[in-house]
Amino acid sequence: MPIQSITGALPAMQIQQPDTKVQRTPFEAQQNFSAMLNNAIHQVNEKQTISDTMTTRLVKGEDVDLHNVMIAAQKASIALNATVEMRNKVVEAYQEIIRMPV
């Protein structure tokens, strides 16, 4: 794999550090979280779409390498599984908060 391919993926893998200098209101924090979550879901959807497109092209007999199709399918699968696990953890945290006595 060329180095350029790896370095191109680095910004997506880096965790954004919160800006500690700026005081945010709860509304701004909610909007920031919402935008981040929306972006993550769109990235997962994009990976799924790419995988589906490549699979369809392979089935039609177009010039697509099998290993590239398999890599795209695995990327999509891993992204979806990570998203599902994240959702499960959020639901679990929510349920734990609901169970707390007031």
**Contact criterion met (CB below 8 Å) for 40 and 54:** no
The residue segments making up the domain with residue 91 are 26-99
Establish if 15 belongs to a structural domain: no
pLDDT tens-digit readout, 63-86: 999 999 999 999 999 999 999 999
Establish if 35 belongs to a structural domain: yes
Establish if 52 belongs to a structural domain: yes
Establish if 10 belongs to a structural domain: no
Provide the pLDDT for residue 33: 83
Establish if 14 belongs to a structural domain: no
Provide the pLDDT for residue 5: 60
Q: How many domains does the chain have?
A: 1
Establish if 20 belongs to a structural domain: no
3-state secondary structure 62-94: CCCCHHHHHHHHHHHHHHHHHHHHHHHHHHHHH
Establish if 43 belongs to a structural domain: yes
pLDDT tens-digit readout, 14-65: 666 655 566 778 888 788 888 988 999 999 999 999 999 999 999 999 999 9
Does the predicted model carry a pTM greater than 0.75?
Answer: no
Establish if 4 belongs to a structural domain: no
